[in-house]
Amino acid sequence: MEFSRIKILALTTMYMVFSYVMAAEQGGYSSIKTDAASLLSFKKMIQNDPNGVLSGWQLKKDPCNWYGITCSLGRVTALDLAQSNLVGQVSFSPFSSLDMLTALNLSANSFAINSTTSLLQLPYGLKQLELSFSGLVGHVPESFFAKCPNLVYVNLAFNNLTGFLPENVMLHIDNLQYLDLSYNNITGSISYLKIESCNSLLHLDWSGNQIIGSLPASFSNCTSLKELILPENSLSGEIPPSFGELTSLQRLDLSHNHLTGWIPSELGNSCNSLSELKLSNNNITGSIPTSFSSCNLLQVLDLSNNNLTGPFPDSILHNLGSLETLLLRSNKISGAFPASISFCKKLRVIDFSSNMLSGIIPPDICSGASSLEELRAPDNSLFGPIPPQLSQCSQLKIIDFSINYLNGTIPAELGNLVNLEQLIAWYNSLEGNIPAELGKCKKLKNLILNNNHLSGRIPTELFNSVNLEWISLTSNALSGEIPREFGYLTRLAVLQLANNSLSGQIPKELANCSSLVWLDLNSNQLSGEIPPRLGRQNGSKALSGILSGNTLVFVRNVGNSCRGVGGLLEFSGIRPERLLQVPSLRSCDFTRLYSGPVLSLFTRYQTLEYLDLSYNQLRGKIPDEFGEMIALQVLVLSHNQLSGEIPESLGQLKNLGVFDASHNRLQGHIPDSFSNLSFLVQIDLSNNELTGRIPSRGQLSTLPASQYANNPGLCGVPLSECQYNDNQLPSTNPSGDGQKGGRRGAATSWANSIVMGILISIATVCILIVWAIAMRARRREAEGVKMLNSLQATHAATTWKIEKEKEPLSINVATFQRQLRKLKFSQLIEATNGFSAASMIGSGGFGEVFKATLKDGSSVAIKKLIRLSCQGDREFMAEMETLGKIKHRNLVPLLGYCKVGEERLLVYEFMEYGSLEEMLHGRPRVRDRRILNWEERKKIARGAAKGLCFLHHNCIPHIIHRDMKSSNVLLDNEMEARVSDFGMARLISALDTHLSVSTLAGTPGYVPPEYYQSFRCTSRGDVYSFGVILLELLTGKRPTDKEDFGDTNLVGWVKMKVREGKAMEVIDQELLSVTKGSDEAEAEQVKEMVRYLEITLQCVDDFPSKRPTMLQVVAMLRELIPANSNGSNSG
């Protein structure tokens, strides 16, 4: 009985287990089918699969064997399609049913994914999410981590995530260890983030965004944090002392922000784990904390580009035995060069550039730091000799001591540095010979020793260093001949030997330098003829890596106070203002510095691009072969004894911008081929023996007369007119046929009478006609005098200079519209009532604008340009013909132009509603101000964006506006925005070279911050100015208003409000008052305003590289158009 019960119980148990297993298998089979269906739904969204990675995703195959799929217990647990080059607009909705999915990797594909919705469609159990370079667009949802609380690893880097960082986004991250949101366009303040349950967080990277605000002290709650990486944002405020509580921290990178205050000493009190500390490119002040001596594992310390002061604490380095990189450039660190560097056994890089260090270079640096590779200390006040003991740093690659007060000789021991690549010590007081031992430095690339007191010959042993790319020995006391062995240096790109006492001939072997693009031999004692082979020098063999990594600056000499066109300098780590303190440069009238990582001179590597042989004793002819140097931009041969004619072949140098052959003995004509040199901005042929007419075509006749002076036989504009002898007239030798017949000898009297009568009648009619014409002309002249007088009348709004014009009223207006073909200057005067003040509707930096009502009732706008210091008629007409062809719906079209005397007039289509500035801010004298509603403001923003986008990306040539502002956004009768004054800055700069670049770089309040440093106008600068216009539309405020903003401006005020979390306070209250509709519609409009503000903040970012292009701006504004919109700007 007992046995039977046991048997029944066993059978029952077996049946239950079997039933459970069958049910589990049945359920599992069903689930894998569901997983497959979900994956196939995702596959349908893929528009292009070039590698065919999804071709095997088919129902007839086991999904667990599909490409990129990992399964466990018969369920899909991981999907990895990284770097598959897939294309498509996808969502994550198919993944929501993959309830066993724990890992998803879609990185490095070309998707378009709406992050705002898709990130909330991920399965609950997901642990690893890798979506870098995947095409995410939109916001990071506030509930993202709450929806996926099991996430351990999240990488959303290098996408286009935008919007404010949600205040609660960092809640619910109990399990999160790795979070990377780097290089997106995330905005908003970091100050208000709630960071609480982050004990598991190890890695946080938000670099390369637009996050603002001060660093929250609550980061100290993340006690396990090892890497906190926040560079390239707009963070402000001080570094919280509580960061010292992050005892596990290994990397801290807060560089390229706007941090202020001192470095907290607490940061060094508990940094036993810290290996990398980067605080560069901020506004940090104070001294370097001595507590850093506790960071005994520190490998990288970068405090560059701040305002740190005081001496470098020597005691710090005693304990930093692991330190490899020490970067302190561009601070105000004073005192002696730290001798304790010798304690850093692993140190590879030292950079003290642009500080205030003084004293000698410690001779025992290399006694301990034998691993040193880079030693940079330019732009300081170091003195004394270069220590010979530096040769003990056997790994040294770079030595840079430029702009100091070093003296003595260059140690011959430096020749033992077999790894040396750069020896840079320009602008010191070094003397003696160049050591021949440097020829043992086989890896030497740059030898830059200009502006010292070096003497003797250039050692031929130097040319054993066959990798030399840049040799600059300018402004020393070198003598002897230029060695022929230079021809061995096939990698040599820059050779500067100017302002020495070199003699002999220019070696023809220089033509063998197949990479040479810059040759400056000016101000020596060179003689003989110019080697024709130089013209056949072929730079096409130059290697692409030449001069890479160098920071180059071309110092352009202006005037005659210094010889030569200028000089090329290695400018890494040097302040431009320091040049003004160099005695030998202070006497030079140099006002132009052209800089960049690599100048445009080194982009093509075809032939020589810069050649200066001036101030020597060269004779003979200019070689015809120079016409083969097709990349030549600067050719200076002045102050020699050259003779013969200027070669016609030089007219083939299409890139030539500067040609100076003055003070020679050149003869013959200026070649007609010079008319083709369209880039020529400076030519000087004065003090020669040239004859003939200056070519009237091209640039030559537009240049100053002084550049042709003292050539007695030269004539034509801009010199006096050429005189011609007209003594060879066609001879008239009428032949007589002898005696006429008797019948021709006597004319009948009656025929004479008839002829006489006819002649008298004709004469009478002619007299009457002439009298009528004269009377009409007299009346016209009187009217013309009256009309011209009206221009100078008291009611006229401007002054005129047209006295030299013979018949100004009859001058035609060159037009681009058929209906204006017969328009004359007199009609413009009549249409504006003598350009009266009543007809003036605006004025700006480029001139006054008048409304002209023509006889047919139509209206045009006439811009009278500012009067310029030079004529430039050809440039004016060329620019006008270019601008007249530019047509776009959102640009104000140029209808015509004319030149009268010294005045230039442009005729534009008249815009009925005036400018956006008048519409927003009011101008009672012109029209009553009215409040623009939100739809109108959006339409204006989109229209202006399209117009500027066309100029930047579609117009040929591409045009940078340079003065984008609300007064240059005009509104037509349909309230469509039209960008005006495009091309004006380009035109004015072409006509008047005396104007400073700063006067052409915009209007206060609209000027991007970088223009105040370089005055270099860029398309990203236009984007900043457009962003200010968007702010005007959103806030209703002017860009500069002392009453509203105090010492800041509109951009600074808005950024401050956003940092404080008060973004809605910047929205124009009048705009909100006219925002009508249902509560839902009003809320939607307010959301749009906030979204516009986000786009605007991207446009006005302080870093140009972070600003979007206008193409991207147009795309972002287009995304905000409601689906039911059918406005004119919806496209």
Q: Looking up tokens 């197949």, which residue turns up?
A: 514
CA nearest 156: which of 196, 206, 110, 198? 206
Q: Are strands 634-636 and 153-155 parallel, antiparallel or unpaired?
A: unpaired
Q: Where are the beta strands (DSSP E) in 616-757?
A: 617-620, 634-636, 641-645, 658-660, 665-668, 682-684, 689-693, 713-715
Task: Return the higher-pLDDT residue of 1015 and 208.
Answer: 208
pLDDT value of residue 536? 67
pLDDT value of residue 51? 92
| pLDDT tens digits, one per residue of 611-657 | 999 999 999 999 999 988 888 889 999 999 999 999 999 988 888 88
Average pLDDT over residues 1094-1118: 88
* Least confident piece of the model among 384-393, 925-934, 986-995: 986-995
pLDDT-derived band at 528 (thresholds 50, 70, 90) equals very high
Of 18-27, 582-591, 1012-1021, 1029-1038, the range with the highest mean pLDDT is 1029-1038
Structure tokens at 449: 């020793």
pLDDT value of residue 742? 42
The annotated binding site is made up of: 864
- DSSP letters, 203-223, are EEE--SS--EEEPPGGGGG-T
| pLDDT tens digits, one per residue of 802-824 | 655 555 555 666 666 555 555 67
Backbone phi, psi, residue 201, to 5°:
-65, 125
Query: What DSSP character marks residue 950?
Result: I
pLDDT-derived band at 12 (thresholds 50, 70, 90) equals very low
Torsion-angle region of residue 384: left (phi > 0), alpha (psi -120 to 50) or beta? Answer: left
Residue 764 has pLDDT above 60, yes or no: yes
pLDDT-derived band at 439 (thresholds 50, 70, 90) equals very high
Residue 7 has pLDDT above 60, yes or no: no
Q: Please identify, in words, the CATH class of the domain defined by 477-715.
A: alpha beta
Q: Which residue(s) pair with 430 in the sheet? A: 408
pLDDT value of residue 602? 47
Residue 574 has pLDDT above 90, yes or no: no
Contact between 615 and 594 under an 8 Å Cβ cutoff? The reply is no
| Burial zone of 182 (CB within 10 Å; 0-12 exposed, 13-18 middle, 19+ buried) | buried
Structure tokens at 330: 């561009």
| pLDDT tens digits, one per residue of 264-311 | 999 987 788 999 999 999 999 999 999 999 999 999 999 999 999 999
Distance of alpha carbon 294 from the chain centroid: 42
- DSSP letters, 585-623, are HHTS-EEEEEEESS-GGGSS-SS--EEE--SSEEEEPPP
pLDDT value of residue 703? 76
Task: Return the higher-pLDDT residue of 855 and 435.
Answer: 435
Measured CA to CA, the distance from residue 530 to residue 20 in angstroms comes to 99
pLDDT value of residue 738? 42
Measured CA to CA, the distance from residue 143 to residue 162 in angstroms comes to 16
Measured CA to CA, the distance from residue 513 to residue 534 in angstroms comes to 10
Enclosing H/E stretch for 968 = none
Torsion-angle region of residue 453: left (phi > 0), alpha (psi -120 to 50) or beta? Answer: alpha
Residue 748 has pLDDT above 70, yes or no: no
* Least confident piece of the model among 160-169, 316-325, 370-379: 160-169
**963 given a catalytic annotation:** yes
Contact between 91 and 116 under an 8 Å Cβ cutoff? The reply is no
Neighbours of 1076 (CB within 10 A): 10
pLDDT value of residue 597? 39
Instruction: Give the pTM.
Output: 0.65
pLDDT value of residue 856? 76
pLDDT value of residue 814? 60
Average pLDDT over residues 924-935: 65
Residue 837 has pLDDT above 80, yes or no: no
* pLDDT-above-70 percentage for the chain: 78
Q: Which residue(s) pair with 867 in the sheet? A: none
Instruction: Give me the torsion for CA of 15, 18, 22, 27, rounded to 10°.
Output: 90
pLDDT-derived band at 995 (thresholds 50, 70, 90) equals very low
pLDDT value of residue 813? 62
Average pLDDT over residues 928-944: 86
pLDDT-derived band at 59 (thresholds 50, 70, 90) equals confident
Q: Please identify, in words, the CATH class of the domain defined by 932-1131.
A: mainly alpha
pLDDT value of residue 604? 46
Residue type, 575: R
Structure tokens at 663: 């003070």
Measured CA to CA, the distance from residue 1080 to residue 1057 in angstroms comes to 26
pLDDT value of residue 351? 95
Contact between 391 and 440 under an 8 Å Cβ cutoff? The reply is no
Average pLDDT over residues 970-985: 84
* Least confident piece of the model among 270-284, 548-562, 906-920, 982-996: 982-996
| Residue 328 CB partners (closer than 8 Å, separation 6+) | 303, 304, 308, 312, 351, 352, 355
Each domain of the chain, given as residue ranges in start order, spans 477-715, 793-910, 932-1131
* Least confident piece of the model among 202-216, 775-789, 897-911: 775-789
For the chain, give the mean pLDDT: 81
Structure tokens at 1024: 């900043």
Structure tokens at 986: 């380009």
Average pLDDT over residues 780-789: 52
Task: Return the higher-pLDDT residue of 411 and 12.
Answer: 411
pLDDT value of residue 578? 66
Residue 97 has pLDDT above 50, yes or no: yes
| Residue 19 CB partners (closer than 8 Å, separation 6+) | none
Average pLDDT over residues 348-353: 95
pLDDT value of residue 740? 40
Q: Please identify, in words, the CATH class of the domain defined by 793-910.
A: alpha beta
Measured CA to CA, the distance from residue 254 to residue 207 in angstroms comes to 9
Residue type, 725: N
Measured CA to CA, the distance from residue 255 to residue 239 in angstroms comes to 12
Measured CA to CA, the distance from residue 335 to residue 318 in angstroms comes to 18
pLDDT value of residue 1123? 43
Average pLDDT over residues 544-571: 64
Of 29-38, 538-547, 808-817, the range with the highest mean pLDDT is 29-38
Catalytic-role residue among 351, 963, 1068, 1101: 963
pLDDT value of residue 809? 53
pLDDT value of residue 923? 55
In three-state secondary structure terms, 727 is coil
The annotated binding site for ATP is made up of: 864
| pLDDT tens digits, one per residue of 691-743 | 999 888 777 877 788 889 999 889 988 888 887 543 433 333 434 444 444 44
pLDDT-derived band at 1124 (thresholds 50, 70, 90) equals very low
Q: Looking up tokens 């560079």, which residue turns up?
A: 231
Measured CA to CA, the distance from residue 937 to residue 1033 in angstroms comes to 6
pLDDT value of residue 564? 72
CA nearest 616: which of 511, 533, 500? 500
Contact between 965 and 948 under an 8 Å Cβ cutoff? The reply is no
| pLDDT tens digits, one per residue of 669-679 | 999 888 888 77
pLDDT value of residue 881? 74
pLDDT-derived band at 25 (thresholds 50, 70, 90) equals very low
Contact between 408 and 386 under an 8 Å Cβ cutoff? The reply is yes
pLDDT-derived band at 799 (thresholds 50, 70, 90) equals low
Contact between 455 and 480 under an 8 Å Cβ cutoff? The reply is no
In three-state secondary structure terms, 60 is coil
